[in-house]
Structure 1
Amino acid sequence: MTPAKALADRRRPKRVDVRRIRAFRSRCLDWYDGNGRSFPWRRPGTLSDYEIVITETLLQRTRADVVARIVAGFMSEFPDWESLANAPSVRLQDQLRPVGLWQRRADSFRRLASEMVLLGDLPRSREELERLPGIGQYIASAVMLMRDGRPEPLLDSNMARVLERYFGPRERADIRYDPYLQALSRQVVRCSRSLEASWAILDLAALVCLPRLPRCDQCPLATGCRFRLDAPVEPRGRRMLERKRPPTRAR
């Protein structure tokens, strides 16, 4: 094998059996239909672009139940980009205090809001979205999924945990640049219920596939899950913390 072909093989994401992906998605959606969480922002087609961006930004690094307690008040206080751009720093930080990192979030919101006042509307392409202040891969995917109905995955550390435990570990440390997780997550949500597929995996991560002591006995994915088969079991029947991931490739 030539060096060039070896390099190309390393860059090519691992393939996963399509039937295994379909089975995974079907089990997640079946579980979600009976166990999925209900939140104010889970009303497809009823949220404005502004509400999508603000809600999904608040959900980063914050539990959904915490965001649910403050999102209505935040939207009432700052109903659009202009009111957010002109909000006094102290007032904005007070609203954000319950979700943590309030100073950083307030600065990020104000920069984005000021830009949006000039633009008027959110861009349509991923490249233009990700050039906006505070809009990374995840928020851009959320906008394209919820606004445009495009099958983009809500890939964060929680979704990654479920995917890796069931299908196998990532190739790179940063999920944004991992070709395996990027390709796999898109395959998983490529269906007529793409938004619900993402929500199903996120809810499963929050309620069952926990970072420590996952509740494998309650998991709809238990059959065929690599983590469940490999991880040691505690006396109470829960799986112990997963083993360290092997060294990843540099970016």
Structure 2
Amino acid sequence: MSRSKMENVADEKVGFFQAKLLEWYKLNGRKFYWRKKGLSSYQYVIAEVLLQRTRAETVANFYPQFIIEFPNWNALANAELQRLEDYLRPVGLYRQRSVRLKNLAIEMVKRKGELPKDRKELESIPFMGQYIANAVELIIFKEPSPLVDVNMARVVERVFEPRKLADIRYDPQLQALSYLIVNHKKAKEINWAILDFAALVCKPTPLCSICPVSIKCNLFKNLKVNNLD
């Protein structure tokens, strides 16, 4: 198959995946406080920071009260570490996270709450690794950036192609595919759809029988072949 034909096939599969996931999300998407319209950039960023390597349901249990207790960067920068630790205890590594979150708040107070659009400068801010920077671009700056965590990686690898590197942040194929998939006018919804789909259907042990994209999923195809053998 020529390169142009291969690209057309890939584009067709991506389009199918986007359409099916958006349909699925409309009916099955999870409802979280931080997905509401009209939240401040502070509220969005804090949600993404707390969600990193943490189940969304865990964060949902304390996020609304956290925002009431610490309503802005100034309140968070002036918070006592013990108080932050009390809130973050459910999410693991709470002492480290408390210090890093306070440092982020102190930096944002210095910046008067303004997040830079320059990617290099954005990632230089404490706690602003690749994932959080992508979330800022997606939610604050309305750019089609993927929220690539282990859950999104699992879905993308199963449906499309497995990555080559252990660290998802540096795998060129996974990153390129993820950007291609969310390059859509509903980039935010596609990101949320994939994360919810990973939590509810494409779990570590997948529920292929209820999967809307199984007919084009490489994992499902391989499972069927192996079962026939």
Same fold (TM over 0.5): yes
Residue of structure 2 equivalent to 1:51: 43
Residue of structure 2 equivalent to 1:94: 86
Q: Distance in 1 between matches of 2:76 and 2:34?
A: 19
How big is the shift at 1:76?
0.8
Q: Distance in 2 between matches of 1:49 and 1:85?
A: 16
Q: Distance in 2 between matches of 1:58 and 1:186?
A: 23
Structure 2, gaps ≥5 residues long: 1-5
Percent identity (aligned): 50
Length-normalised TM-score, structure 1: 0.83
Once the two structures are superposed, the pairs formed by residues 139-154 of structure 1 within 5 Å of their partners are: 139-154=132-147
Once the two structures are superposed, the pairs formed by residues 167-206 of structure 1 within 5 Å of their partners are: 167-206=160-199
User: For 2:127, what is the secondary structure of its paired residue?
Assistant: coil
How big is the shift at 1:229?
1.7
Which AA in structure 2 matches 1:105?
Answer: R
Q: Distance in 2 between matches of 1:32 and 1:89?
A: 38
Length-normalised TM-score, structure 2: 0.91
- Picking from 204, 220, 223, the partner of 2:212 is 220
Structure 1, gaps ≥5 residues long: 1-13, 236-251
Which AA in structure 2 matches 1:223?
Answer: I
- Picking from 15, 31, 34, the partner of 1:22 is 15
| Cα-Cα RMSD | 1.8
User: For 1:223, what is the secondary structure of its paired residue?
Assistant: helix
How big is the shift at 1:52?
1.4
- Picking from 34, 50, 67, the partner of 1:41 is 34
How big is the shift at 1:119?
1.2
The number of residue pairs the alignment matches comes to 220
Q: Distance in 2 between matches of 1:188 and 1:58?
A: 25
Bigger helix fraction: 2
How big is the shift at 1:206?
0.2
Q: Distance in 1 between matches of 2:177 and 2:162?
A: 11
Residue of structure 2 equivalent to 1:112: 104
Tell me if 1:71 matches 2:63.
Answer: yes
How big is the shift at 1:99?
2.0
Which AA in structure 2 matches 1:106?
Answer: S
